[in-house]
Amino acid sequence: MTELMGHHAIVTGAGSGAGEAIAMALAEQGAKVTAIGRRQAPLDALAARWDRIFPIAADVTDAEAMLAAIAKSVEKHGAPTIVIANAGSAESAPFLRTGVDMFRATLDVNLTGVFNTFQACLAKMNQKQPGRLIAIASTAGLKGYAYVGAYCAAKHGVIGLVRSLGLELAKTGVTVNAICPGFTDTPMLHRSIDNIVEKTGRSREDAEASLRDVNPQGRFIQPEEIADTAIWLCSDAAASITGQAISLSGGET
């Protein structure tokens, strides 16, 4: 399909999980995709699968590195029209065992990373033309979960940023939205399950079930579902959708 032919999309956290699925979906729709992540090897492997995907290694927590990465991508492919801030990480700990370094690191990648990505990209976008800024947040941005206070705080911050920026850009051609998946079948989820098993001694099956059952549909969200939602937000049909946090969670409240 070529619905997004002529678009230049930038995707962070593109080396695995939802970011990889989003980058592939955008390329399949005809967009040129700049895939950004911290590790070069997974990005190179992704780029080898599709000649519309171009890898650049950069850390979203480093504002200068992101500015340089976006400048490099613009020089090669022109101004971005689609920006998907997907990079993120999650660690769990009881609140009293959450050190300030862990708290700051969680905010850095999950919240400041979105800020750095949006700011570097928006400065290069033509705001008179249709454009999309999309943050991959989480249901943790819509509600609380025990033992992940830092992650919830960061994702709530992402939702606030999206709502504010959506209003700020409402009279331009650029929309700003967040996709909020529930527990998603990605390497990050698998690490969380490993952590539960290690700390509680529960079986892996029980640990998986405890997270899967949070979704009323009794399943994990698939990365491709996030990618499909992002593709819809990039379409003309979503031109009036801005400042929204779209829950992708099987009915979780």
Q: Which residues are marked as active site?
A: 151
Tokens of 178: 């967040």
What does the alpha-carbon distance between residue 16 and residue 123 come to, in Å, rounded to a whole number?
27
Give the CA distances from residue 19 to residues 36, 85, 202, in Å, rounded to whole numbers and listed in that order. 9, 9, 30
Length of the chain (residues)? 253
Tokens of 224: 């491709």
Q: Are 77 and 53 in contact (CB under 8 A)?
A: no
What does the alpha-carbon distance between residue 133 and residue 162 come to, in Å, rounded to a whole number?
9
Eight-class DSSP state of 214? T
CA quadruple 5, 10, 16, 19: dihedral, nearest 10: -80
What does the alpha-carbon distance between residue 149 and residue 151 come to, in Å, rounded to a whole number?
5
Eight-class DSSP state of 95? G
What does the alpha-carbon distance between residue 107 and residue 153 come to, in Å, rounded to a whole number?
8
Tokens 């959450």 map to which residue? 98
Q: Are 18 and 86 in contact (CB under 8 A)?
A: yes
Residue type at 111 in one-letter notation = L
